[in-house]
């Protein structure tokens, strides 16, 4: 809990930047999951941000800081939502299902786990004890296992639709909120927890 407070003090953008840098260091090919059209969804749209292009320095991307900051918040949201599995599990399952449209594979969650571990070690220093590491690993493992199951369900759904209608597109019909909305969903879980 204290480690999450330290993460929050640093801010999601700062931690998000470290997280995406570690992710791309571990898996440089993952950069291709974030072309300009994906990054544009997470822009601040301020006049000084300029326009996105293939030439943009991905290592200095405000959009990726924001996106990976949301990933950090999703892990924190999981901690806050553990008391209400009835809301948390469906939310994470749907979020995992949507990853079928992003080109994400199950292996990417393991890379992100390693990157998160490296990020937390960097920002927490000596406070990142074995016990703290185990707690974060457990929470991330729980979250990612549900999201991976959601991805598997979406793949199964896509494949069964493709078998029924092989002449149509195999793009997933999974709908739902983007990770951008996880904060509002998380807030409703936290508010419910505070009311208890």
Which pLDDT belongs to residue 79? 83
The alpha-helical segments, DSSP class H, found in the chain are 2-10, 12-26, 36-39, 62-81, 85-98, 106-124, 130-164, 182-195
The encoded tokens of residue 161 equal 């639709």
Gap between the Cα atoms of 63 and 13, Å rounded: 10
Tens digits of residue pLDDT in 138-161: 999 999 999 999 999 999 999 998
The encoded tokens of residue 69 equal 């900051």
Which pLDDT belongs to residue 43? 77
What secondary structure letter does DSSP report for 34? S
**pTM to 2 decimal places:** 0.79
Which pLDDT belongs to residue 1? 72
Which pLDDT belongs to residue 194? 47
Q: What is the DSSP string of 163-186?
A: HH-TTS----------GGGHHHHH
Domain boundaries, the chain: 2-195
Give me the residues of the chain with pLDDT under 70, please: 44-56, 166-196
What secondary structure letter does DSSP report for 105? -
Provide CATH code, domain 2-195: 1.10.490.10
Q: What is the CA radius of gyration of the chain?
A: 17
């Amino acid at each position: 809990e204290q480690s999450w407070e330290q993460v929050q003090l640093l801010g999601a953008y700062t931690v998000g930047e470290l997280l995406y840098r570690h992710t791309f260091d571990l898996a440089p090919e993952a950069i291709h999951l974030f072309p300009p059209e994906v990054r544009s969804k997470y822009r601040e749209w301020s006049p000084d941000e300029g326009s996105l292009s293939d030439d943009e320095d991905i290592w200095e991307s405000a959009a990726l800081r924001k996106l990976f900051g949301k990933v950090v918040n999703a892990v924190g949201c999981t901690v806050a939502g553990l008391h209400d599995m009835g809301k948390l599990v469906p939310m994470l399952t749907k979020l995992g299902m949507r990853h079928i449209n992003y080109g994400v594979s199950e292996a990417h969650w393991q890379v992100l786990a390693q990157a998160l571990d490296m990020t937390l070690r960097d920002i927490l220093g000596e406070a990142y004890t074995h016990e703290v590491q185990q707690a974060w690993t457990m929470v991330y493992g729980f979250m990612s296992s549900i999201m991976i199951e959601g991805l598997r369900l979406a793949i199964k759904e896509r494949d069964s639709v493709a078998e029924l209608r092989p002449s149509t597109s195999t793009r997933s019909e999974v709908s739902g909120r983007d990770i951008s909305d996880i904060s509002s969903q998380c807030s409703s879980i936290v508010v419910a927890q505070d009311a208890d």
